[in-house]
Amino acid sequence: MVHTMSTLLIKNPAQIVSPRPGSLRGAALNDPVVRTGRSVLLRDGHIAAIAPLEELDVPQDAKVLDATGRTVIPGLVDCHTHLVFGGSRADEFAQRTAGATYEEIAAKGGGIAGTVQATRESSKDELFELAEARLNRAMRHGVTTMEVKSGYGLDLTTELKMLEVTAELDAVHPVDLVPTFLGAHAVPKGVSKADYLAQVREMIPEAANSAKFCDVFCEEGYFTPAESVEIMELAVKHGMLPRLHADQFNAIGCVDVAIDLGAVSVDHLEAMNEEGAKKLAASDVVGVLLPGVSLFLDIPYAPARTLIDAGCIPAIATDFNPGSNMTLNLPLMMSLACMQMRMSVDEALACVTQNAAHALRLPEAGCIEPGWQADLLVLDTANYRDLVYFYGENLVQTVIKKGVPHAAR
Ligand code: NIG
Ligand code: FE
């Protein structure tokens, strides 16, 4: 949403740290621009200038944010979430702590099906309020842009209800939301696969009015690679861009179809083997890593090091959802990526800024350079690495979205 235009000076930060512009891979992931002795001038929602204070042309009426001793980084982009849903799966969490697996719970009729029922029973207002409170939490942790999937309706009415909630929340909330249609998240109870696929085909033209992307849960027991292709080809005809949930529990060829389709991203990859990693690395498809899912479900981590060393374009997201990751703390996902997947701090930073913005095809977000959208964070530390090092803490002091500052605490 667009706010009142004005000028804001971020004065004297200890560091201004940003990845370079572009979709980053290889050595470029470890080459951020670190500026010291510079201030930042924001005008009309964009970055106007980055220079020593005395060289900046600061208007009389500019607001001033004193950032002495603090660090400025780009606003974070969470490029994979299921923000909108009703109900709770805390009972299933308890079952899992007692030893049941995600797949066992799903096979017994729980999992996604339970959230579908609760989401169908929730009014639009209820879903809106829940999503808004969650989005506020994400923003306090530094998120300025978020992708939001449907997929807990599995019928036309509820899928559209989820997309409408997303659009209405986007219209009133500072954080930008990017909607994705995930009608093919699971086959709903009481419907055959063939009938449901026919329903999804009918949903696509309507969903395409509001969703930028189309996603499919390509997995054993959900949708096959062939079914994913069929859905995606129709989605593309209607103007949506494809992205896929792939290789979460089993590698069944979903990454190959994503590459063939020219998908924007493949997300999860926990079960990916080395051959798959190399294929993905040779493509322009972003590999979205979701380390919080591995922690939360106690499944293997995606082979991030193999992917990155082979030249993949990586991103990191929360995958916030009631079944496989219940945190909106994206900096914590960066810490997990560093501690459990052997990524560097600079790689993790590029993965939640520039590369995540690229995964959402948002060319103005995720970088601190003159001309870019003024989405920035002021961190309560003089060293940007503390954002990852102080894992589980929140070092975000101020979230600036399109030039407008919001206190994070
Ligand atoms: O991204 N993997 C499929 N979908 C979600 C989980 C959905 C759920 O359990 O509610 C995910 O992990
Ligand atoms: Fe997901």
Q: Residue of the nearest CA to atom 3 in ligand 1?
A: 217
Is position 13 within any domain? yes
Q: Quick count: other Cβ atoms within 10 Å of Cβ 53?
A: 13
Q: Quick count: other Cβ atoms within 10 Å of Cβ 241?
A: 20
| pLDDT value of position 5 | 60
Same domain, 51 and 190: no
* Contact partners, residue 48, CB within 8 Å, separation at least 6: 7, 41, 42, 370
> Pocket around ligand 1: residues whose beta carbon is below 6 Å from it?
111-112, 115, 217, 245, 248, 293, 319, 321-324
pLDDT, tens only, 197-256: 999 999 999 999 999 999 999 999 999 999 999 999 999 999 999 999 999 999 999 999
Most ligand 1 atoms within 8 A of CB, residue of 185, 219, 247 to mutate: 185
Ligand 1 centroid vs 194 CA: distance in angstroms?
Answer: 22
Taking the CA of residue 217 as reference, the ligand 1 atom at the shortest distance is 3
Which residues surround the ion ligand 2 when the cut-off is CB under 5 Å? Answer: 319
pTM tops 0.85, yes or no: yes
For residue 88, give its domain range: 78-359
| Integer Cα distance of 239 and 206 in angstroms | 11
From residue 131, give the alpha-carbon distance in Å to each of 7, 69, 134, 139, 164. 31, 34, 5, 12, 12
pLDDT at residue 3 is higher than 70: no
State the total domains in the chain. Answer: 2
Same domain, 219 and 310: yes
pLDDT, tens only, 334-384: 999 999 999 999 999 999 999 999 999 999 999 999 999 999 999 999 999
Same domain, 82 and 200: yes
CB 384 within 8 A of CB 73: yes
CATH of the domain at 322: 3.20.20.140
CB 394 within 8 A of CB 408: yes
Is position 2 within any domain? no
Is position 397 within any domain? yes
Is position 117 within any domain? yes
Write down which residue in 342, 359, 376 finishes a domain.
359
Structure tokens at 40: 């930042």
Mind giving me the DSSP string for 226-258? HHHHHHHHHHHHTTPEEEEEESSS--SSHHHHH
Average pLDDT, rounded, for the chain: 96
Ligand 2 centroid vs 82 CA: distance in angstroms?
Answer: 6
Structure tokens at 359: 């995964």
CB 159 within 8 A of CB 183: yes
pLDDT level of residue 290 (50, 70, 90 thresholds): very high
pLDDT at residue 4 is higher than 90: no
